[in-house]
Structure 1
Amino acid sequence: MDEAQIRESITQMLTVRRRDLAECETLRRWLTGQAGTPEVPKGSESEIKHLAVVAKRNVIGMVVDTFAQNLGVVGYRAADEAADATGWDLWQRARMDARQDEVHRPALVYGLSYLVLRPLVADGPVEWLPRSPRQLVALYEHDDVSPFPVCAMEVWVQTVGGVKRLRGALMDDEWVYPLDLGTVADLARTKTASLSHVATAAVIDDEAAFPHRATYDGTPVCPVVRFVNGGDADSGPIGEVAPLIASQRALNEVNFDRHIVSRFGAFPQKVISGWAAGESEVLKASARRVWTFEQADVKATALPAASVEPYNAVLREIVEHIAQVAQISPAQITGQMANLSAEALWAAETAQQRKLDAKRRAFGESWELALHLAVETTSGQDTVPHGAEVIWRSTEARSFGAIIDGITKLSSQGVPIDLLMPLVPGMTQQQVKAIRDRLDVDYTPDAIAALAATPLLAGSGQE
């Protein structure tokens, strides 16, 4: 791109970033429980205001955690291969076993996230850089079908001499252009219509620009892979937070009402009519078992304590509704779980597993795109594996005994046991490889029968 195209792209992406930042900040506040404080009338006592703050009962974060903790890539291979395909070594080298959550979680919260695969300096190694919509803006020719953007811009804050400056990197299908977008304060004061002036004043260091070398099937591409949580062509990407905001607000308000009742009305109220006294006298009277008054027209009565159970019932109903909308088991939010069998747990999590499968399909395609891009950029087009797909960790509630029984029956029919080992809950690819290397046998029915007939303990007396 020439300088005019670069500055035009900066203007477009700064405009998109300003719009997206406001939306992302709203979603982040609901996720962390900072938003949703029930409103109180003006002039309310400080105690009432305090109750409004502590009454927030955030469950949105639990919903996001439920899905994030069940999304884990553990392998990358073709269906007819026992070993992981080329590219898994790059995944391991980038420590993505631990860092993949940095991609999944922003997608769950904001609806989409990104993975940048580029060198940080000229001729440097390809780095795997997870980015949220708060950190990266990408422009696509066709939002719904284009696998790679036309251009993208990373943005971060860097403190220079005590002043916070907005630094960035603009990427097209060949080059990375380092940017200095000015101070954070100046950009915040700039109106949207004047963002073109920021782009005009941006410092573009042409000498520091360098090629990122990213290619896909031999074609240069912008090295950004998008991960979409869900949505459709009309609404666009949507995360797990936005659909739950209304229910979360209702939950907070009902809980606030319950706090008010429990603080001021959950005990018998003593009422004295026809008698006025100071605060100290009222406290003394409240502590007495027997009250006496000189005035003949004084009447003392008591009101029954208010019950919080109706509020508890409403809270349970709202929590169940949130679980239904989010398609997770209510036990994930309430923490209440009876002594259930594996089959009962599986039935309770059926909707959650269906939704997880949809997320794994969407995220899996993006991970395969990223692995293809990483392999081709690092080693060339000839080394790209064909037909390989990512393998997800199984988190479904299933009976361990039933799984082992099924594996045993399949292996007895000639299915190679090493292809069945990943079906064992909690079995990682490294453990599968270690078991395969340790046994080093031909997994045929005859071999399995021979192993079963071989004494396992020396000196057992069997010949």
Structure 2
Amino acid sequence: MADSSPLKLAKELLAILDRDEARLQRIDNFIRGKHDDPYMPPQADDEYKLLAKRAVSNWMPLLIGTPAQALYVDGFRPGQPSEGLPKASSSTSSAWKHWQRSRLDARQAAVYRGALGFGHSFVLTEKTKKGVISKGLSAKKTAALYEDPANDDEPYAALTVTAWPKGEAPGKARMFDARYEYAVTFKSLSDLDSVRVAKGKLHGSTECPVTRFAAQVDLEGRTVGVVEPMIPLQNRINQTIFDLLVAQTYTSHEVRYATGMAPPLLMEWVDENGNVTTDPELAVDSRPKLGPDGNPMPAPINHNARRFLFAEDPDVKFGSLPAGPITPLIESVDMSIRHLAAISQTPPHHLLGQIANLSAEALLAAETALSRKITEFQSLFGESWERVFRIAAEMEGDTEGFDDYSGEVQWRDMESRSLAQAADALGKLKEQLGIPARGLWKRVPGVTQTEYEDWEELAEEEDSVAQLATALTRATPSADQAPAPPGSEVVAA
């Protein structure tokens, strides 16, 4: 950071996008099904090329979607002040209003899918006319600079492209540092001399408002998603399926043959002048039709199961060649898919569709690796969301919320179990371990932040009514405690 001028930062960030463009585009191609072609002979015809296109079996969206569909934030619980007393529910409501205003219930999935696919994605928090909102940014259009990319959550500068160069129109981008936002223009990612940076304006935070969501970060600061390590396996599967299609097309059927018999020739009509004609009335003779090589062309034979082959020459022999086996190729495809499942920590039955005769214990064991991977993603993405909530709180003027490093996001419980099973388990936790019932509300399957806050309000109303009824009961004497009427005497036994 010897030279941290806005122009220098903009050039460095655009250079990062230029450096990573080819790698990220290759990952994007594999996600969209644009894979490397399988090996084909140099003189491959159109039929081979068609089989190569049909051999693409894209597993990448499934590798991304399986963990992404288990990642849903349902609430945010702020930390506690130094006195140890819980915060008021208004803090939670304020943070959750920002979430709902940003429509992140639906848009959070795109952030996770981008991070799982490319290795990282970003979220920008900014002030708008509707209030403070957060939105996802693609890794293909966004870059960030860190002093320590392996350990820092806060970048000291970030840039996102809003419009790519088109013709004479320059590209446009937005750059952020710890205080200001800058408008950047450029002619191309590689032409750094064309970069121009406008005067900055305050964005409302004391930190860069761009937050990175990384699926995996090593100590070198490199991010890796679930797609890039699987590209060699995906190519292997495509090659095996291509070989299967070739074998299925050319060798999986019996080939019938006839020996000692010349095939019938394709004939054409000629007129009295020897010219080819299509009018039968003008035809006076016929002759074999010659091909481009000058040789007679054989007539096509229309043969099917209802037609009978015969020959007048007794030396003609008919026979058939057996079909080639394709079972080894099918087994090879299954083996490659199992390798893909093992390396990507995806349950095999998610990829192979084989779920028959599996007990509950076997299914649980098969899902263990996936559950651990999802837990890791929740830890990584949860820290990023907590920074987003802190930045949003500062932009809204909530200094206490900005200094809250103890807040936690609440992830939806995606385990497959019925509500009755969950209720039974939660009831045992309350009765046998003495956990307060309110502390278990968050663990009810499917409960949202809004429902949780509604329950708290209803519980407070019920507590108020119960306290009022208790106070009235204590203030009202019962019949056996009523005072004796005036003039009455008490007779001792």
Query: Which TM bucket (shorter chain)?
Result: 0.7 to 0.9
Letter in 1 for 2:352: T
* Structure 2 counterpart of 1:356: 374
- The within-5 A match list for 1:207-286 is 209-214=200-205, 220-234=206-220, 236-277=222-263, 278=265, 281=299, 283-284=301-302
Q: With a CA cutoff of 8 Å and minimum separation of 6, indicate the structure with the bigger relative contact order.
A: 1
Matched residue type, 2:431: S
Query: Would the alpha carbon gap of residues 197 and 67 (structure 1) be closer, same or farther in structure 2, given more than 3 Å must change?
Result: same
In the alignment, is residue 109 of structure 1 matched against residue 109 of structure 2? no
Give how far 1:271 is off.
2.6
| Mapped contact 2:149–2:220 kept (Cα < 8 A) | no
Of residues 174, 179, 183 in structure 2, which corresponds to 1:174?
179
Q: Superposition pairs for residues 21-420 of structure 1, below 5 Å?
A: 21-78=21-78, 85=92, 86-119=94-127, 125-157=131-163, 165-182=170-187, 187=188, 192=190, 195-199=191-195, 202=196, 204-206=197-199, 209-214=200-205, 220-234=206-220, 236-277=222-263, 278=265, 281=299, 283-284=301-302, 290-295=308-313, 297-338=315-356, 340=358, 342-384=360-402, 385=404, 387-398=406-417, 400-413=419-432, 414-420=434-440
Deviation at 1:283, TM superposition (A): 1.8
Question: Using the alignment, how far apart are the partners of 1:29 and 1:276 within structure 2?
Answer: 52
Instruction: Return 364-373 or 304-313, whichever deviates more.
Output: 304-313
Counterpart of 1:420, as a letter, is L
Write the distance in 2 (CA, Å) between the matches of 1:163 and 1:237.
Answer: 35
Residue aligned with 1:128, SS? strand
**1:53: how far off?**
0.2
Tell me how far 1:309 sits from its aligned partner: 2.1
Kept in 2, the 8 Å contact 1:138–1:152? The answer is yes
Measured after TM superposition, the shift of residue 391 of structure 1 is 0.8
RMSD value, Cα? 3.1
Are the equivalent residues in 2 in contact too, given 1:343–1:397 (CA < 8 A)? Answer: no
State the one-letter code of the partner of 1:213. Answer: G
1:428 Cα shift? 2.2
410-419 vs 63-72, which moves further: 410-419
Residue in 2 that maps onto 1:8: 8
Task: Give CA-to-partner distance per residue, 1:48-96, whole Å, 9 cap, x none.
Answer: 1111001100111111011111111111115886957352221122111
Aligned AA (2:204): R
| CA 1:432–1:360: 2 relative to 1, 3 Å | same
Structure 1 residues 125 and 181: alpha-carbon distance in aligned structure 2, compared to 1, 3 A threshold? farther
| Structure 2: distance between partners of 1:422 and 1:380 | 25
In the alignment, which residue of structure 2 is the partner of 1:456? none
* TM-score, normalised relative to structure 1: 0.82
Structure 1 segments unaligned to the other structure (5+ residues):
215-219, 444-463
- Which amino acid counterpart does residue 423 of structure 2 have in structure 1? I
The CA deviation at 1:362 is 0.7
Residue aligned with 1:36, SS? coil
Report the alpha carbon displacement of residue 442 of structure 1 after superposing the two structures with TM.
Answer: 7.6
After superposition, the Cα gap between the structure-2 partners of 1:381 and 1:55, relative to the gap in structure 1 and judged at 3 Å, is same
Counterpart secondary structure, 2:380: helix
- Cα pair 1:343 1:399 within 8 Å, conserved: no
Aligned length: 423
- Of 395-404 and 362-371, more deviation after overlay is shown by 395-404
Q: Secondary structure at 1:349's aligned position in 2?
A: helix
| Residues 178, 205 of structure 1: 8 Å contact kept | yes
Alignment CA distance shift 1:235-1:4 (3 Å)? closer
Mapped contact 2:145–2:155 kept (Cα < 8 A): yes
CA separation of 1:51 and 1:328: change in aligned 2, threshold 3 A = same
Q: CA deviation at 1:181?
A: 1.4
Equivalent residue number for residue 20 of structure 2 = 20
Identity rate, percent: 30
User: 1:288 deviation in Å?
Assistant: 6.7
Contact 2:184 2:198 in 1 (8 A): yes
Structure 1, 405-414 or 147-156: larger mean CA deviation: 405-414
- In structure 2, relative to structure 1, the CA distance for the partners of 1:273 and 1:282 (3 Å cut) is farther
Query: Can you list the C-alpha shifts for 1:220-271, whole angstroms capped at 9, x where unaligned?
Result: 2211111110142247110000111011001001111111122222221113
Q: CA deviation at 1:296?
A: 5.5
Q: Which amino acid aligns with 1:334?
A: L
